[in-house]
Amino acid sequence: MTIPRFHLAMPVDDLDAARHFYGELIGCAQGRSSDTWIDWNLHGHQFVTHLAPSRPQQAHNPVDGHDVPVPHFGLILTIPEFHKLADRFRAAGTAFVIEPYLRFEGLPGEQWTMFLLDPAGNALEFKAFADDAQVFAV
């Protein structure tokens, strides 16, 4: 099954900080850009950071005893990719909103997850499922 690519545009308040975070830390290839936006290849998806100096306040929802930031977005990675990225974040001194941990251990949907903020305060979640067929498990 071919999964359609998504397009997501997010506000940032500093394009140089976005270049460092998305380009160098996460490893996204940079595409077209201007003085006010940058296109990124986020694992085959078109992700765009737009310069926007102000942003709405963020909300949180309780999940598994954690305050999950809303809205948020991210990627579903393989378990080795997840741990490699978590190690890169740790090495860079990135502060986690929710440290990497294993959810639903031994249950349908078992997954590693971590939450962090980009330099502009956008919340990101990265996940890795023990069984990729369980992404939509009930």
DSSP, residue by residue, 100-132: EEEESTTSTT-EEEEEEE-TT--EEEEEEESSG
* CA distance linking residue 133 with residue 31, whole number of Å: 31
Look up the pTM and report it: 0.89
Tell me where in the chain the CATH 3.10.180.10 domain(s) lie: 1-52, 64-137
CATH number of 1-52: 3.10.180.10
The residues, any chain, with a CB within 8 Å of residue 102's CB and separated by 6 or more, are 110, 111, 112
From first to last of its 138 residues, the chain has per-residue pLDDT tens of: 678 889 999 999 999 999 999 999 999 999 999 999 999 999 999 999 999 987 767 788 988 888 898 899 999 999 999 999 999 999 999 999 999 999 999 988 999 999 999 999 999 999 999 998 888 887
Q: Which CATH number fits domain 64-137: 3.30.1060.10, 3.40.50.300, 3.10.180.10, 3.40.50.10280?
A: 3.10.180.10
Q: Which of 33, 30, 116 is nearest to 75 (CA)?
A: 116
